[in-house]
Structure 1
C-alpha cells in the first residue's frame, strides 16, 4: 500500500530562524561562485574547452559558474550510453527506481535552504518564489515515486474462462528532456525523474541560462543510488545538441518545456521518421500561455485585485501560468483597475537576495529588451497606468506594468510577453467576458472571480483552459492537487503532477494466455 503524499510545506521566512538559515546559505553560495562544472555521461565527468557561462540576472556581471558544453560528438556518446543502459534499466523493479526518488527527496529536504539560495542567485528568484521552486522539486520526486508504485502492476482487464489476460506498462526507451529556465529546479527535476522512474534512460539538456542547478540534481540522484548512464547531463546549444537529439533515430520521446516557437519546431522535427527509426516519436510538450482572470460584476474586488497582482508579478511574470490579461465586467472595471494600480505601485523591485524583495529581475538581456518592446507596443494600443520602464544598470529589472482600455484583439492581449505586464479589457456581460478570455491561441490557465453560481458553472464548461481556478489566482499549481497542462498552443496537456503523467512515458502491453 502506497502512503499518500502531502506537498512539501513552504518556509515561513517571517520566523527569524528560517530567515537566518537562508541568509547563511546565500553567503555560502556567493562564496562558491565561479566554479566549473563538467558533463556527466555514463557517470564519467567530461570537461570541454567550450563553456556555458551562467550569470546572476540581478547582478549581470556576476558569474555563477562555468558549465562544459556538449557538442554532437558528445551527444552521440551520451545516446549510445543511454541506449545501452536502457537494455537492463528497463527490467529493474519499479520499487527500486521509486526508492531512488524518495531518497533524493529526503536529501534535498535536508539541504532545502542550500538549493533555495542557489535559485535566488542563478534564477534571480525572490525568497518566496525560490523556496516554492525547491518545494515543488521535492513534491515531484515524492509524487512520481508513489505513482510508479501504483502503476507497476498495470491495470485490471477482463479475462474469459479459457484465458488469462494482463495489461501492464513498459518503458519507451531513450528520452530527451529539454528543461526551462523559469522553474529551473522544479520543472527540470520533474521532467527528468518522471521518465527515469518509469524505466527509461534520459539525456538531460537544461536551459543554457540556468544549467548549474541541473548538475546539482545529478549529484543528488547519484547520492541517492541512481546507476551510471540512467540520466546523462549534456548541456549545449539547441541548434547543435538539441536538434541533433530530437532528430536522432534512437530517440524514443522528447519532453520539452519552453516557448511556443521552440515547442512547435520540436513537434515538427519529431514527426519526421529518420532512416533506421522504428517508431513514431512521442512528444510531451508544454509551451506557455496568455492567461486571463475574468472578474464578474458581483465579485469580491479586493480578493480579485490581490490575485491579479500576485498572478501577474510573481517571479516578474515569468511563468507560463502568469496573469497577463484581465477581462472585467464594465460595472466594476474602473474600481478594479484602480485597486490593481494601487497595489502595483507598492511592489518592491530589488535584488532578490534581500528578504523584503517581492519582485526581482527578469532572466537576461533578451527578455529585458523583449518586454520593453511590448511596453512600447502597449503605449500605442492602450493607456499606461503604472510602470512601463526598467533599469539595466546592475541587472535586468523591469517595473511591474499595467495597461488599461485595451482591445481584446490587440497584440498586448494576444501575444505572450513573459514579463511583469498585465493588460485590462472591458466586457459588457459575462458571456462576452468568457468569449474574450477564450480568444487567444493558448489555453493554459485561467481564473474567474464571481459569486454567481450560474456563471461559475458556465465558465467550468466554456472557459477553454487546462487549469481553471475560481475565486483565486491563476498561478501556483501544486503537485498532486492541480495537475498542470494546457490546451491549444499551450502544449500537449500532459498534466504534470497528475495521476496519468507517468503513462506518457510508457506504453501499454497486453498479454493473453490460453488456459
Structure 2
C-alpha cells in the first residue's frame, strides 16, 4: 500500500514544540484494515472470556505503570493541565478494569455473540479516556476494532493501541487508522463490513453517521448499531439559598476547566434576581485571578483550546454576542499566550 500523508503534530500551547509526526491512513489502508479485522474476528471471538479480560487488566496495569510518560504526552498534544492529565489516565484505567470485571462476571462465549468489526471514532477533548473506553468495550465483547482518533490527537491514541497490543490483544483485533473524518471516518462508516459504530463528537456528524448506517442492514437483516455521545447546552440554576462562594467555585470549575472543552461544561448560568448582582461581582473577580498559560506549568489554571479553528469559533461567538448588544466580560490574555 502507498504511504499516507505525513503531518506534524504540534503542542497547542506552543506551536514551536513539535510533539511528533503522524502518517495518515488512505482509503486503501481502510479497506485493508477491514479485511484484517474480518479475518481476525473468528479468532478474537473464540478467545476465552477470561483471556480477553486478562488482556484488558494487563493494559490497565501498563497504563498505571506508564502514567508519567503518558501525562507528558497528553499535556503536550492535547493542551491539558497536569491534574486533567492524571484524571484522564485514571479514567482510562477505570474503563479497562470495569469491562474486564464485567465480562468475567456476566459474559460467556456461548451466550454473548459479538457483532464483528466495530468502528470507534473518538474526540480530542478526552483523547485517552474516551478512546480507551470505546475500544475496551468493543474488545471485551469479542469484537475486532478499527479505531479512528481525532485528527488533533493521534499520538496519544497510538500509545493506547501499543499498550493494548503489549497487553496481549492481537494486532488484527485492534487497528489504528488516523486521519480526517471526511476521508478515513467516512470510509469506515460506509464500508459494508462495518458491523457497528461508536462515536463521540458533534451532533451534526452523529446525524450524518446515523443517516449513512440507516441505509443498510447486516448479513442477517439487522440494523447497524450506532452508539453516539454528542454535545449539548448545560445550565446551572442558582436560587437565593445557594452559598455564593460555592456557586462561584463550581462555575469556574465547570465552565473553564479543560478550557471549557467538555460536553459537560457549563454553558448557561441562571441566577435568581435577589442574588444575581452579588454573585456576578464575585464571579468576575474570581475570573480575574485565573492564570491561563502553558499547562506544563503548575502555575497555569487552564491551558489553550485545541487549535486555531476552535479559537475562531469562540471569537465569532463573542463577536456575535457583542453585535447583539449583550454585555461581554472578557479577561485580557497574557503576552505568553499565543493568538
Give, in whole Å, the separation in 2 of the partners of 1:212 and 1:111.
Answer: 15
User: Could you say if the C-alpha distance between residues 71 and 363 of structure 1 is closer, same or farther in structure 2, counting changes exceeding 3 Å?
Assistant: same
Give, in whole Å, the separation in 2 of the partners of 1:91 and 1:274.
Answer: 24
More helix by share: 2
Structure 2 equivalent of residue 284 of structure 1: 227
Cα displacement (A) at 1:278: 4.5
Q: Partner of 1:386: helix, strand, or coil?
A: coil
1:111 to 44, 63, 66: 66
Contact 2:254 2:265 in 1 (8 A): yes
Q: Partner of 2:72: helix, strand, or coil?
A: helix
State how many pairs are aligned.
338
1:366 to 275, 298, 309: 309
User: Could you say if the C-alpha distance between residues 392 and 282 of structure 1 is closer, same or farther in structure 2, counting changes exceeding 3 Å?
Assistant: farther
Structure 2 equivalent of residue 63 of structure 1: 18
Contact 2:292 2:334 in 1 (8 A): no
RMSD between aligned alpha carbons? 2.0
User: Could you say if the C-alpha distance between residues 99 and 172 of structure 1 is closer, same or farther in structure 2, counting changes exceeding 3 Å?
Assistant: same
1:386 to 308, 311, 330: 330
Cα displacement (A) at 1:373: 0.7
Deviations 1:7-33 (A, max 9, x none): xxxxxxxxxxxxxxxxxxxxxxxxxxx
Contact 2:57 2:100 in 1 (8 A): yes
1:179 to 122, 128, 141: 122
Cα displacement (A) at 1:48: 2.1
Contact 1:180 1:188 in 2 (8 A): yes
Q: Partner of 2:80: helix, strand, or coil?
A: coil
Q: Partner of 1:169: helix, strand, or coil?
A: coil
TM-score between both structures, scaled by the size of structure 2: 0.94
Give, in whole Å, the separation in 2 of the partners of 1:68 and 1:129.
Answer: 27
2:111 to 164, 168, 171: 168
Structure 2, gaps ≥5 residues long: none
Structure 1 equivalent of residue 154 of structure 2: 211
Structure 2 equivalent of residue 309 of structure 1: 252
Aligned counterparts, 1:318-337, within 5 A: 318-337=261-280
Contact 1:247 1:274 in 2 (8 A): no
Q: Partner of 1:384: helix, strand, or coil?
A: coil
Structure 2 equivalent of residue 72 of structure 1: 27
- Structure (1 or 2) with the larger CA radius of gyration: 1
Structure 1 equivalent of residue 89 of structure 2: 134
Give, in whole Å, the separation in 1 of the partners of 2:234 and 2:187.
Answer: 33
Cα displacement (A) at 1:274: 7.0
Deviations 1:61-81 (A, max 9, x none): 322111111111110000011
Contact 1:47 1:68 in 2 (8 A): no
Give, in whole Å, the separation in 1 of the partners of 2:85 and 2:17.
Answer: 19
Cα displacement (A) at 1:168: 3.3
Deviations 1:427-485 (A, max 9, x none): xxxxxxxxxxxxxxxxxxxxxxxxxxxxxxxxxxxxxxxxxxxxxxxxxxxxxxxxxxx
Deviations 1:323-343 (A, max 9, x none): 111011111111111121111
Q: Partner of 2:329: helix, strand, or coil?
A: strand
Structure 1, gaps ≥5 residues long: 1-45, 155-166, 397-515
Contact 1:256 1:263 in 2 (8 A): yes
Cα displacement (A) at 1:275: 9.7
Cα displacement (A) at 1:392: 9.2
User: Could you say if the C-alpha distance between residues 73 and 277 of structure 1 is closer, same or farther in structure 2, counting changes exceeding 3 Å?
Assistant: farther
Give, in whole Å, the separation in 2 of the partners of 1:393 and 1:208.
Answer: 26
Structure 1 equivalent of residue 176 of structure 2: 233
User: Could you say if the C-alpha distance between residues 390 and 71 of structure 1 is closer, same or farther in structure 2, counting changes exceeding 3 Å?
Assistant: farther
Q: Partner of 1:170: helix, strand, or coil?
A: coil
Q: Partner of 2:263: helix, strand, or coil?
A: coil
Cα displacement (A) at 1:393: 7.5
